[in-house]
Amino acid sequence: MPDYFQDHMPDNVCFGCGTMNHEGLQIKSYWDESGEQAICVWQPEHRYRGWHQVLNGGILATLIDCHSMGAALAAAYQAENRPIGSQPVYRYATGTISVRYLKPTPMDTPIELRARVLELSGRKARVVCDVFAQGDKTAEADVVGIRVLEGEAAKDDRFKTPGASSSSQQPPEGAVEETAT
C-alpha cells in the first residue's frame, strides 16, 4: 500500500483531502516509484456530477487544489530528507490556481491526477497537475502553494478538529477576535 500524504496530516478537516471530513472527497496522494510525481486516483460519485455523466468543474478544481498542496507538502519534507509529518510540521494553502478544462471529465471511470513540483523556494511551491480519465487528458493546472504553517500543528487551534482539546486558550497570533454587537 502506498504511503499516503494525507495520513500524515492529523486533524485535517479539509473538504478535499481531510481524513477527518467524512463528507468530503477523501483524496489520497502518494509518490510514484521515481518520487518525482505525486499520484492520486479518485472515483467520482453521482452526487459530484455537473451534467449527466460529467464531473462538476468545481469538484475537479478542488481535487487539483488538494492534490497539488499535498504534493507541495511532501516535496518540502523530501527536500529536507525528512519523513512527512516529522517536526517541524508543514502545511500548504493555495495562493493561486489556474485550471484549463480540456474536455469533459467522465463520471464512470477513475480519475488520475499527476502532479509535479516545479519549484520550492522559501515558503512558495509551484506545482503543475494533469488530470486523466481512461488515459485521456481532461484538464491541466498551474498551482502556487504557500507554506502557511511551520511548527507544531497541535499548538494552533486553526488546524484542530472542532471540539478537540486546546493546549492554549489564546487566539493564534494575528487572529482577529469577533464579538457580538
For 167-178, the pLDDT digits (tens) are 333 333 443 343
Cis ω before 88 (30° cut-off from 0): yes
Q: Grid coordinates standing for 161?
A: 478538529
pTM: 0.83
Q: Domain range for residue 148?
A: 5-159
Closest C-alpha to 94, from 153, 147, 159: 147
- Residue 147: inside a domain, yes or no? yes
pLDDT-based confidence at residue 157 (cuts at 50, 70, 90)? low
Please state whether 5 falls in left (phi above 0), alpha (psi between -120 and 50) or beta.
Answer: alpha
Task: Kindly state the greatest CA–CA separation across the chain.
Answer: 56
Compute the residue count for the chain. 181
- Residue 172: inside a domain, yes or no? no
pLDDT > 90 fraction of the chain, expressed in percent and rounded: 79
- Torsion angle of alpha carbons 134, 136, 139, 140, nearest 10°? 110
In this predicted structure, the answer to whether residue 103 has a pLDDT above a threshold of 50 is yes
- Residue 28: inside a domain, yes or no? yes
Domain count, the chain: 1
Question: What's 141's domain CATH number?
Answer: 3.10.129.10
